[in-house]
Amino acid sequence: MFTALIVKPLFNLLVFIYAILPGHNFGLALIIFTVIIRILLWPVLKKQLSHSAALRKLQPEIKKIKAATKGDRQKEMAMLGELYKEREVNPAGVFPILILQLVVLIGLYSGLRKVISNPESLVTFSYPFIQHLGWMQELKHNIHMFDNTLFGVVNLGRAALNSGGGIYWPAMIIVVGSAFTQFLQSKQLMPKVANQRSLRQILKEAGSGKEADQTELNAAVGSSTRFLLPVMIFLFTVNIASALSLYWLVGGAVAYFQQARALQSDELAMEAIADKPSKNVKAIPEAEVVTKTPKTPKKSSSKKSAKKRRK
């Protein structure tokens, strides 16, 4: 079912682009395919970015709720639930989107592996209407005409690290570029927190008995792990065909510009939503005390009391 619903449609879209592309360069077809996939995923990716931006803007109110509930986890969760419902924010809304991206990546990897291991699958695994295209008919009779390079420079069937330990530098450049674009994406989404402490400092204080603020802890964990995903991508792609690294590189570059545009267009909207005073927070007496300024005593009353004492 996964092959029929995910792998085969993705594979055939890539092969269709390759078959109708002038010059029939597989690397260029893969780049165009990646851009199309990113455009198709844009609505769900934009929703993910909106959720992330809304959660970042709600952090001040979340802190007020945590301070007001004073460790009462049941009351805290109830108040946070009301806050999310009022602002129409679902903290778990990003997970289905991440799963969708992972499914696309696995499907593409399965299709690319078929092409790299057996180029004849370009014809045998394609839909009938694609098999009848002119270029596919030529490939059917002479599969050696298949060009699996990027503009004749990078062999997309080779890995950056060979089994013998050698380095294929054209593929290594793509692998490093894909990891770097992932780092830029993670950094772009990281909230800017003033006087942010490191994860080591927070855990050290927590070990001494001081309760760690969950919001600050999440920000510190996110800051520390922004290097983790690029490293994982590098280690994963350095030993496989560089075609997948090319997909990751192009997809990361497109996603970076998509995120920049989305964050810029959503900034004013998210600020308007987050700046709206929450009834949920105002209902907590302790939270109201924090926001009120203490009243200074009137000078006239103090003067009257002093006159009475002299009399």
89-105 pLDDT, tens digit each = 766 666 677 788 788 88
Mean pLDDT (the chain) is 76
- With a pLDDT cut of 90, the percent of the chain lying above it is 20
Distance CA 219, CA 197 (A): 9
- Smallest CA-to-CA distance from 45 within 201, 250, 251 is with 251
Q: Residue 251 falls within a domain, yes or no?
A: yes
CA angle 49, 51, 52 (to 5 degrees): 65
Q: Residue 198 falls within a domain, yes or no?
A: no
pTM: 0.71
Domain that holds residue 89: 2-190+226-290
Q: Residue 116 falls within a domain, yes or no?
A: yes
Provide the pLDDT confidence category of residue 79 given band limits of 50, 70 and 90. confident
Provide the pLDDT confidence category of residue 21 given band limits of 50, 70 and 90. very high
Write down the pLDDT at residue 219: 58
pLDDT higher at 228 or 172: 172
Does 70 have pLDDT greater than 90? no
Does 195 have pLDDT greater than 60? no
Q: How many CB atoms lie under 10 A from the CB of residue 55?
A: 21
Looking at the structure of the chain, the number of domains it has is: 1
Distance CA 212, CA 238 (A): 38
Spatial contact of 114 and 125, defined as CB atoms under 8 Å apart: yes
Q: Residue 166 falls within a domain, yes or no?
A: yes
Write down the pLDDT at residue 84: 75
Give, to the nearest 10 degrees, the angle between helix 242-274 and helix 169-189. Answer: 10
Q: Residue 73 falls within a domain, yes or no?
A: yes
Of these ranges, 49-58, 144-153, 162-171, 264-273, the one predicted with the greatest mean pLDDT is 144-153
Place of tokens 């709206």: 276
| H or E segment to which residue 155 belongs | strand 154-155
Mean per-residue pLDDT, 218-246 = 79
Write down the pLDDT at residue 276: 52
Write down the pLDDT at residue 107: 87
Q: Residue 244 falls within a domain, yes or no?
A: yes
pLDDT higher at 199 or 154: 154
Q: Residue 28 falls within a domain, yes or no?
A: yes
Q: Residue 216 falls within a domain, yes or no?
A: no
Write down the pLDDT at residue 58: 75
pLDDT higher at 180 or 53: 180
Does 250 have pLDDT greater than 90? yes
